[in-house]
Amino acid sequence: MPNLLIIEDDAAFCQMLQKFLTRHGYEVETSFTAPDAKEKFGKTKFDLILTDLRLPDYDGIQLLTDIKEVSPKTQVVVMTGYAEVGTAVNAMKKGAFDYISKPFTPDEIVMILDNALKVEAKTAQVTTSVKEQSGDDSKQKNSKPVAQKVGSSTIVKGVSEASKKLEDYIKLVAPTDMSVLITGESGTGKEVTAKAIHDNSKRKGFNFIAVDCGAIPKELATSEFFGHIKGSFTGAVEDKIGNFEAANKGTLFLDEVGNLSYENQIQLLRALQERKIKRVGSTKEVDVDVRIITATNEDLTEAVEKGTFREDLFHRLNEFSIQIPSLEERFEDLMLFAENFLNKANASLDKNVDGFSSEVWGAFQQYHWPGNLRELQNVVKRAVLLTTGDEVQLDALPREVLQPQEKETTIENFSKSEFEKDRIIKALKKTNFNKSKAAKLLQVTRKTLYNKINHYNLDL
């Protein structure tokens, strides 16, 4: 059982975290003050330390330095109530594993802590292997892999034409080594698609490393991508491998690649062309064999025209492109996705909700889901949490899902009837005006569809 120290001056919040993390298999100690915390981590070696950067009696960055001096291998996650990038960057330069901004969800903190533990476990395995091969551990320096958030690779096999086309593209490109550019609206499941490509490739036995380029400060990007050696800059307390080395022989997924600075784009292009990287502070070149999958929800061709994204890098990344359909474009799959998210929510929340009431299904079908699959997953998880009976009822849904007409367009407020009419026309166009298929897409009977067409006097 991993042991964890929480350093937080808000006693109520600290105790709530302690109870939650204890239920998730952690052995948790707490400290409300820095002096008490220093005494505890001075006597006990903790696997993880979760500390607030804003302590009333001590500087949080200094406390981080104190922890690393006593126990350099202990992973430290810092919390901040003000999402200040400068503070977070400083903390990571001083050796913090990651940071999280308040308020955060329990799932988010568990994910970060679990990632930190996985890195520690992997580090231990590498150290053991080095010792066995060399017989002399005193001269060996272990590299800490970069922990990355990796989404579930489970893809729901949809029945819609858009989902079938997506599945065909994944099967087609996965066995190759082509670079893939995934585009689509936010929340459509670009990372899940990237993981599915990896899992169906010859590289599936090696690492899939996911990187959110939008979350990496420009100052840390080079170190994150290529790693650094001890002492190369302030806070580099040990050697660290970067994303490219961590993904060697596997797949490197770069999400929101359009957010990279021009300088970072040049570095990325050079690494892809030469298949070699250098850690920050090192002159030694390291060979890397990595498949690159990138994703963006913006138009990179437009960025190329504006000069904010390099054209040569764009072509290097775009050997094969996949457009992820929005949830509206795969509306036939709504029930399948909702049931899948219901099962996931039951598992993570330790609940046993059987399904959705007919009224909830009606609300789901009327809503246009601007946040796509991510929004659907969040809505289902919230509903499961609020549900005390066997079925999710209307009162467990957020207001925007119950009143979709309020947010249908930024141009004008559609009424419910106008929204319904718009959906019917879109369904008919998608099915080449095949009314049977359109009725199936809308999840209504053919007779109901005919009645609606007559009701709205649609000239078809």
pTM > 0.75: yes or no: no
Domains 3-119 and 161-323 share a fold: yes
| Contacts (Cβ under 8 Å, ≥6 apart) of 43 | none
Task: Tell me which residue has tokens 């006097």.
Answer: 457
The half-sphere exposure of 171 on its side-chain side, counting CA atoms within 13 A, is 8
Torsion, Cα 172 292 110 100, to 10 degrees, reads: -140
Paired tokens of 85: 């990038």
Q: Work out the pLDDT band at 122, boundaries 50, 70, 90.
A: very low
- Going by C-alpha positions, the residue among 402, 447, 449, 443 that lies closest to residue 421 is 449
CA distances from 91 to 73, 387, 411 (A): 16, 40, 44
pLDDT score recorded for residue 416: 57
The domain 3-119 having CATH identifier 3.40.50.2300: the answer here is: yes
Average per-residue pLDDT for the chain: 82
Domain limits, the chain:
3-119, 161-323, 330-455
Q: What is the DSSP letter of 405?
A: G
| Contacts (Cβ under 8 Å, ≥6 apart) of 404 | 366, 367, 368, 416, 419
Domain covering 161-323 in this structure, CATH number: 3.40.50.300
Distance CA 40, CA 49 (A): 11
Q: Which of 149-163, 228-242, 268-282 has the largest mean confidence?
A: 268-282
Q: What angle do CA 248, 250, 251 make, to 5 degrees?
A: 110
The matching CATH number, chosen from 3.40.50.1970, 3.20.190.10, 3.30.420.40, 1.10.8.60, for 330-455 is: 1.10.8.60
Q: Work out the pLDDT band at 341, boundaries 50, 70, 90.
A: very high
